[in-house]
Amino acid sequence: MKKIFAEFFGSFWLVFGGCGSAIFAAGYPDLGIGFIGVALAFGLTVMTMAFAVGAISGAHFNPAVTLGLWAGGRFPSKDILGYIIAQVFGGIVAAATLFLIVSGKSDFVSVGTFAANGYADLSPGGFSMGSVFITEFVTTAFFIIIILGSTGRKDTKKFAPIAIGLALTLIHLISIPISNTSVNPARSTGQVFFAQGGDFIGQLWLFWLAPIAGAIAAGLVCKLSKKA
């Protein structure tokens, strides 16, 4: 249960900090943090919680990471379901918390897109479904490679949270204009229940399929490369 709670709180913090920065601070009138600030916020959430609870649960905070580590032979199949439920629930509770905050603004009318992920007309830059799928697949695959590589040796393991946090920052710098950056089905799921202005729920399948496919592919490649 300690692992489950750690994954819940870590996933909550990732969505609350990352999506919260996009909702409240990215486009703040006259002085906002912009894409760079949002990308850094997501990286900081993972890095800080990895240091905080990494020793308890491994600091996945992401169903794609859990499945990628499993494919790489670094996570037991018996724990997969519990981790994913905790991660998704953490993301939903964080999104609900953000909604309660933003709806309390004096001039509140709508939450808008609520930092949700999307493709085609719901992509920030109007990128197609194919472009978004490729982006999510590739960025998640490299994220898993970085996680497996940085945590796989004693001489790099203590610095792994920094490498992983910076990797997630870089991923967001690349892909915020493309898909609003998912690489994390739990992060995507929480937002769709509150986002307005499009069929975000109807597009959620891609932000489960692409990251998980990329993660499993990367995990298998890393596992096979060790055996070669």
pLDDT tens-place string over residues 42-88: 999 999 999 999 999 999 999 999 999 999 999 999 999 999 999 99
Q: What is the CATH number of the domain that holds 61?
A: 1.20.1080.10
pTM for this predicted structure: 0.96
Number of helices (H) and strands (E) in the chain: give both, helices first.
9, 0
| Angle, CA of 143, 71 and 212, to the nearest 5° | 55
Q: What values do phi and psi take at 87, rounded to 5?
A: -65, -45
Number of domains in the chain: 1
> Residue 65's closest CA among 227, 226, 222, 202?
222
Helix (H, G, I), strand (E, B) or coil at 221: helix
Range of the domain at 178: 2-104+112-227
Phi-psi region of 110 (alpha: psi -120 to 50; beta: other; left: phi over 0): beta
Q: What are 138's two structure tokens?
A: 């590739």
CB atoms near residue 21 (< 10 Å): 21
Model pLDDT for residues 149-166, shown as the tens digit of each residue: 999 888 888 999 999 999
